[in-house]
Amino acid sequence: MPEQGTRGRTRGSGRRQWAVLAVGAVVAVAVGGLVLSTVSGSDDGPDGTGTPGATTTRSNGVEPGRAIAERESAAAAFPGGLAHQPDQDGQAARRAAAARADGERATAEQIDVIADQPVATWLTNPSESVTRQVVRRVVRGAEQQHRTPVFVLYAIPDRDCGSYSAGGTAEDAYLPWVRSAVREMAGSHAVVLVEPDSIAQIHVCERLGRERLRLLDRAVDELAGHGLTVYLDGGNEDRVPVTEMARWLRAAGVDRTQGFATNVSNFYRVDTERAYADRLADAIGGDPHFVIDVSRNGQGWRGTWCNPEGAGLGQAPHVTAGSTRLDALLWVKTPGLSDGTCNGGPAAGQWWESYALALVEHRQRD
């Protein structure tokens, strides 16, 4: 809510004005000292009431310590539009090719509905050398298309709080892993979605709290200054209260990024997710932008996040016209990959062909 202005105040006598000014000066000195001590001694708890590493007092109308980034336009964030993955990195493309080679033409054509769309590339392997090879290949392919590659960093320690997608790097290996990936991305204008679930999951996995937010804040430092467009984890509309999520995002360094991503690997409709994202952006302040994952939301929420029955592909991914804070609708999750061993699915991240074909069958029709 905007701060109330001072219009409509009546003027008092000259004596009253000087008295008010004198008192105001004393208050200003006291407040200034408090601000300096607060900024220099920031120690964030899990609620993210401060911003680690940002200690410069600003004069832009927001609380001290927040270094608000100048947000890019949607066109500048995604120059040329969305790049397609090389076939080697697209699981749907590989499976369609295999089906075609086996004479399964109808199956191949159905899987092509997925393979023909630009999908984000997930970086999940803790190996720095393997990760660099994938980044190099995807960046090279995007350069040939004159489009923007989208990467998802997904290797944070204690990933998924030990659930279906458990794993990630060792604690002391994460930032070197990020740094290694960034060296390959530098100058590519890539879009980077940082660790889906990593912030929202604090709500149900409290042990992640303070150290998780500090680690993400340091990862933002590693990503900054290399010509990349960065979005942090913004959860979704039905997960974390907006005020709480806003505090955590500020603690994770969202003010130094383009903004946040919502609905990653989930099923909520665009209209309700967009309303949530706008409320979250307002709560954060500084006008962060956002992207929404629409890969599997064609039938909306289906009662569970884990391999729900009846889900369908969402609308085709695309960059927006840039007239709002919504930068793009993306296919972040690769349709056809299992969410985990639930509802009959294989392990998380494994190709599940019957589910992929059902997503195509129930897809949103434009």
pLDDT on residue 148: 98
pLDDT above 80: residue 43 = no
Which is higher by pLDDT, 61 or 208? Answer: 208
Task: Please tell me the predicted confidence (pLDDT) of residue 365.
Answer: 84
In this prediction, residue 53 carries a pLDDT of 34
Which residue is associated with the tokens 């990024």? 257
Whether 197 is catalytic is yes
Average pLDDT, the chain: 85
- What is the full DSSP assignment across 187-251? TS--EEEE-TTTTGGGGT-GGGHHHHHHHHHHHHHHHTTSS-EEEEE---TTTS-HHHHHHHHHH
Active-site pick, 44, 112, 197, 293 = 197
What percent of the chain has a predicted confidence (pLDDT) above 70? 82
pLDDT at 63: 56
The three-class DSSP label of residue 176 is helix
Tens of pLDDT, residues 127-138:
999 999 999 999
Element (DSSP H or E) covering residue 316: none
Mind listing the pLDDT tens digit for each residue in 280-322?
999 999 999 999 999 999 999 999 999 999 999 999 999 999 9
Residue of 112, 160, 255, 327 with catalytic role: 160
Q: Tell which wins on pLDDT, 51 or 99.
A: 99
Mean pLDDT of 20-49: 35
Question: Tokens at residue 227, please?
Answer: 């010509």
Q: What is the mean pLDDT of residues 346-365?
A: 96
99: pLDDT strictly greater than 60: yes
Whole-number Å distance between alpha carbons of 289 and 326: 6
Domain 74-361 part of CATH 3.30.420.40: no
Report the share of the chain in percent with pLDDT over 90: 77
Rounded Cα distance, 129 and 283, in Å: 39
Neighbours of 112 (CB within 10 A): 18
Residue 160 is a catalytic residue:
yes
- Torsions phi, psi for 326 (to 5 deg): -80, 115
pLDDT value at position 66?
72
Cβ count near 89 (within 10 Å): 17
Residue ranges of the alpha helices (H) in 208-361?
Answer: 209-223, 242-251, 270-284, 353-361
Q: Is 318 exposed, middle or buried (0-12, 13-18, 19+ CB in 10 A)?
A: middle
Task: With a cut of 50, say whether residue 61 has pLDDT above it.
Answer: no
pLDDT, tens only, 3-26: 223 223 333 333 333 333 333 433
- Contact in structure between 334 and 119 (CB atoms under 8 Å): yes
Q: Which amino acid, residue 213?
A: L
Residue closest to 335 by CA, chosen among 150, 121, 124, 119: 119
pLDDT at 286: 95
Are the beta carbons of 296 and 312 closer than 8 angstroms? yes
Mean pLDDT of 72-98: 96
In tens, the pLDDT along 238-286 reads 999 999 999 999 999 999 999 999 999 999 999 999 999 999 999 999 9
- Return the domain boundaries, the chain: 74-361
pLDDT-based confidence at residue 65 (cuts at 50, 70, 90): low
Catalytic residue among 44, 112, 233, 339: 339
Q: How does pLDDT run across 148-184, given as a tens digit for each residue?
A: 999 999 999 999 898 889 989 999 999 999 999 999 9
Question: Do residues 295 and 314 make contact, with C-beta atoms less than 8 angstroms apart?
Answer: yes
Global pTM value: 0.83
The encoded tokens of residue 288 equal: 């962060």
Alpha-carbon torsion, ordered 360, 137, 174, 264, to 10 deg: -20
Percent helix / strand / coil, the chain, rounded to 5: 40, 10, 50
pLDDT at residue 162, rounded to an integer: 86
Q: What is the three-class DSSP state of 159?
A: strand
Residue 122 gets which letter from DSSP? E
Identify the weakest region by mean pLDDT among 52-66, 121-135, 252-266, 342-356. Answer: 52-66
How many alpha carbons lie under 13 Å from residue 134 in its C-beta half-sphere?
Answer: 22
User: 205: which 2 tokens?
Assistant: 């996995």
